[in-house]
């Protein structure tokens, strides 16, 4: 699955939500499928296959360790957020695989609509739990269906960091993820991820090539320098992953309000960002090795 992206930067007119493009998914209640594909495009059969294929990387390549996994709710909706990194982010599949494996709960990852629009890739992305990052999609999953939803508040700025900027969190947008959690009446569960930054680090960027290709940046990774341009774009370094789940953050506001305090939203988002940043620094100080933890 591709990286989940920032959600909730919703323009407002008179306090009302203004739909973003692309629009939220509209499941057809009359569409009685014979397969196991749900209204979001997720297939449990495909997720099971993905878990089997990804098991080697999770257990033997990244050797993932969790701390505080019991803090993730075993029922009810919750918005999971985490720091984001690697040229091709490795954190989303690690988090989704770990929660589904250890807790037996499906996780829906919100990501840029670009993933859904790419032929073949978009279908595979949807079948394995990817959903376009639109506020109403997040609301329905969290409020109406009581699911676990994963989003990365740094958005594309996280994976775009170069190696010398590793583990320095970028701004969390305008705090849209907090507003979504308030509207849906669910907790936010932050996860500090250590290891993704070293799995596919960006050494430098080529502005001229990025401009010619119409991209925000064109990365050159250490993996490409070691393994070559093709294999290096597919193979991660076997960095040791450690994930620490922080205490869930709840809000003493009623759900489904038409408007929430923007200053409150920004303050809550910044407090979560600071807590996540301090946790990462604490984990880095305790780490003995990139490869063995």
Phi and psi of 54, rounded to 5°?
-85, -15
Q: At what angle do helices 91-103 and 44-56 cross, to 10 degrees?
A: 110
Nearest CA among 111, 203, 191, 217 for reference residue 166: 203
How high is the pLDDT of residue 2?
43
How high is the pLDDT of residue 11?
39
How high is the pLDDT of residue 223?
96
Which residues are CB-neighbours of 232 under 8 A, at least 6 positions away? 221, 223, 224, 225, 226
How high is the pLDDT of residue 243?
98
Give the side-chain half-sphere CA count within 13 A for 122: 9
How high is the pLDDT of residue 29?
47
Rounded CA-CA distance 293/290 in Å is: 6
Residues of the chain with pLDDT under 50: 1-6, 8-21, 28-33
Pick the CATH number of 39-200+240-286 from 3.40.1130.10, 3.30.260.10, 1.10.10.10, 3.40.50.620: 3.40.1130.10
Q: Domain ranges in the chain?
A: 39-200+240-286, 201-235
Rounded CA-CA distance 46/25 in Å is: 20
């Amino acid at each position: 699955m591709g990286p989940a992206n920032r959600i909730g930067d919703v323009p407002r007119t008179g306090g009302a939500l203004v739909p973003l493009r692309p629009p939220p998914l509209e499941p057809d209640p009359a569409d009685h499928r014979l397969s196991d594909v749900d209204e979001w495009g997720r297939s449990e059969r495909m997720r099971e296959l993905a878990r089997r294929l990804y098991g080697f990387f999770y257990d033997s390549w990244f050797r993932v360790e969790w701390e505080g996994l019991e803090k993730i709710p075993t029922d009810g909706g919750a918005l999971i957020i985490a720091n984001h990194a690697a040229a091709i982010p490795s954190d989303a599949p690690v988090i989704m695989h770990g929660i589904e494996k250890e807790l037996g709960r499906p996780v829906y990852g919100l990501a840029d609509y670009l993933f859904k629009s790419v032929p073949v890739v978009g279908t595979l992305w949807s079948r394995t739990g990817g959903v376009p990052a639109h506020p109403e999609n997040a609301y329905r999953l969290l409020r109406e269906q009581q699911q676990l939803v994963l989003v990365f508040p740094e958005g594309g700025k996280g994976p775009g960091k170069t190696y010398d900027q590793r583990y320095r969190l970028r701004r969390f947008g305008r705090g849209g993820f907090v507003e979504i959690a308030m509207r849906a009446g669910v907790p936010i569960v932050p996860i500090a991820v250590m290891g993704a930054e070293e799995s596919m680090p960006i050494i430098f960027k080529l502005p001229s090539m990025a401009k010619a290709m119409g991209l925000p940046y064109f990365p050159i990774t250490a993996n490409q320098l070691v393994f070559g341009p093709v294999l290096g774009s597919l193979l991660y370094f076997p960095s040791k992953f450690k994930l620490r789940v922080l205490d869930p953050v709840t809000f003493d506001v009623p759900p489904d309000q038409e408007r929430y305090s923007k200053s409150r939203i920004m303050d809550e988002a910044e407090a979560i960002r600071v807590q996540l940043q301090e946790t990462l620094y604490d984990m880095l100080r305790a780490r003995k090795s990139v490869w063995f933890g």
